[in-house]
Every structure is written in C-alpha cells, then in structure tokens.
Amino acid sequence: MKTFEVTILGSLAALPHKGKITSSQILLYNRQSIMIDCGEGVQMMMSKYHINPSRIKLICISHLHGDHLFGLPGLLSSFQHHQRTEPLTIIGPVGTAEFIDVVHKLTQQYIVYPIYIKEIDIVEKTEVFHFDDLVVSAFPLNHRIVTYGYYFEEKARVKKMNKDAVKQFQLTVEEIRQILKGEDIKRNEGLLLKNEIFTLPDPPFRSYAYCSDTMYDEKILDWIKGVSTLYHEATYLHLLVEKAKERKHTTAQQAGRLAKKAKVKKLIIGHFSSRYNDVKELVDEARNEFEEVYAALEGSVFSI
C-alpha cells in the first residue's frame, strides 16, 4: 500500500509560542508531499522533523491570516536558493497571487523555478488539483475571512485486471485496451461482456480532510462524510464557546461532535489557543463526543 501520512509541523493558533509554530502540516502520499498551510518558522520545523522540502509539489493555503501564511515567502525564496527547478503549485483564496507577487517584486527575488498559483473562489466542494492517484478538492469553511477546507482522496487511475477472467474469455489485446478504458466488450451475436467481469474491485480508498480555521458548521458534513482522517480545528475548550462563536472558531467538544456526525474514522484536533499549556484537556473534551481523537502535537506523524 502506498504511503499516506500527515506530519504536523505546527498547530498553534495566532502566535508562535515556546518554540512551537502556528499552522502547517505535510501530507506525504507515495513520495510526493503536499504542504497544508505555512506558518512562520516552517522551515525550521521541516528541518527538525526531517521533512525533505524538495518533495513538496503542492502548497494548499486555507486562508490569508498570517498564522497560516507568513512562512510562505521565506520557503519560496529558500527553494530558489537551493536551485529548485521542479514546478510548484500553490492553491489558495483570491489574494494569494497578489501576496506572492508583491513580496517578490519588493524583495527583488528572482524566482526561476515555475510557480503556478491557482486562486479558488468556490461555494461547493470542487476538485482543484490531482496527482496520478490522489485527487485534491476544496470546499468553503465558515471563518472571519474567506477560508477553504481541503480534501485529499486516493483514486485508482487504472483498474487492476482480473487475470483469471482475461484468460477464461481469451481477451484479445484490443479487448484488453477497451477494458482498461472502462468500456464493455461487444462480441459477435450480441454477446456483451461487462467491464466489471475483468477488473478487480478497488481497494478501500483512504482520504484526509483539513478544516481550519472555521466555526462549527454542519454544512460541511456532506463534504467530509466518511473521511478516513479528519483534521479539525479546536481552538478552545467549550467553556469558551461564546468566544469561539465570536472569533469564528470551534471548541473541542464541537469538533468531536462533528467527527461523530460525519462518521469519520479518526479525528486530529489542532489550532490550539496558546492559553492551553496541556492540550490533553482539549482531547478529553472531544473524546466525550467521539472516541478516536488525537492531538496535533508538533512532530507527530499520523498514517491516514
């Protein structure tokens, strides 16, 4: 099975604190890395947790608040310094391109490797990128500024053949091509051989959803239903539910409730307010609603 795991580089809300940084994580799928959000100091964390920056092909920015964004200019300039030649795609809300352009113009940073910036402006879950076997979608969250969640889903591009059936029906090369294209086979005298006879069922597909920053909003349930691993912000304990509502953040209890309603397999909570010295109380609160809860501690690696 292909590697599919997420490494937490930072999970603090708002500010770096005591050697920890704000939101950033690395999703590794089959030797290709995707960075999700990019808080200040992210390069130090990548070096600390042995993440190879050159594997990053895609950076997904949830929203343009500084605690998710301010590590980006330095990272892009380090890529150049390390003579990156491979293209990089950056996906984010409208404004992402202006941010990058102005920084490069003012710092007179000469970037040679290709950067493709894809600004999204969507109201439904929408496919925004794909690798060979991984589809990336985005969907709107509910925060103080335009914010997107991201959904990463394995998808077999080509069906695996059922060799026994191929042998039994003695398929020709042309017929095998038809099957690989997903077509059925029509033989003489109206004989129809359905595609699924010759292909194996897909293995269970794994998926990862990233939801930060957002207030509790059941609108996203349809979009994240049944996801293997859900990362959801849980900035506060439920004691501060009013503050959470006002700042458009989620409490740990609410994150647990949402995970349960969405029937996810595993919940990772993060984006912790730095007022909590020990995030165990946030995990415990979420566990009252949903059992499989983990804290996004820096350096943790979760397999999806």
Q: Which stretch binds a copy of itself (CB under 8 A): 70-78, 167-175, 247-255, 265-273?
A: 70-78
Strands (E), 194-258: 207-211, 229-233
| Nearest-approach distance from CB 234 to a copy of itself, in angstroms | 19
Q: Which stretch binds a copy of itself (CB under 8 A): 43-51, 167-175, 200-208, 243-251?
A: 43-51
| Nearest-approach distance from CB 77 to a copy of itself, in angstroms | 5
Both structure tokens of 247: 């700042």
**Per rule CB under 8 A, is residue 160 in the interface with a copy of itself?**
no
Q: Is 229 helix (H, G, I), strand (E, B) or coil?
A: strand
**Per rule CB under 8 A, is residue 66 in the interface with a copy of itself?**
yes
Q: Which stretch binds a copy of itself (CB under 8 A): 1-9, 35-43, 168-176, 231-239?
A: 35-43
Binding-site member from 99, 113, 131, 169 for a copy of itself (CB under 8 A): 99
**Per rule CB under 8 A, is residue 232 in the interface with a copy of itself?**
no
> In the window 15-34, what residues touch a copy of itself (CB under 8 A)?
15-19, 21
Query: Is 202 an active-site residue?
Result: no
**Per rule CB under 8 A, is residue 83 in the interface with a copy of itself?**
no
Binding-site member from 107, 172, 288, 303 for a copy of itself (CB under 8 A): 107
CA distance linking residue 116 with residue 59, whole number of Å: 10
**Per rule CB under 8 A, is residue 43 in the interface with a copy of itself?**
yes
* DSSP symbol at 139: E
Contacts of 215 (CB under 8 A, 6+ apart): 142, 143, 244, 245, 248, 249, 250
> How far is the CA of 264 from the CAs of 123, 149, 172, 206, 267, in angstroms?
23, 16, 43, 11, 7
Nearest alpha carbon to residue 304 among 186, 207, 204, 162: 207
C-beta separation of 43 from 71 below 8 A: yes
Q: Which stretch binds a copy of itself (CB under 8 A): 39-47, 204-212, 244-252, 262-270?
A: 39-47
CA distance linking residue 110 with residue 88, whole number of Å: 15
Cis peptide before 213 (omega within 30 of 0): yes
Query: 95 or 159, CB closer to a copy of itself?
Result: 95
**Per rule CB under 8 A, is residue 108 in the interface with a copy of itself?**
yes
> How far is the CA of 102 from the CAs of 64, 99, 215, in angstroms?
14, 5, 31
Query: 109 or 162, CB closer to a copy of itself?
Result: 109
Q: Which residues are catalytic?
A: 67
- Residues at the interface with a copy of itself (CB under 8 A): 14-19, 21, 40-41, 43-44, 47-48, 64-67, 69-71, 73-74, 77-78, 81, 95, 98-99, 102-103, 106-109, 144-145
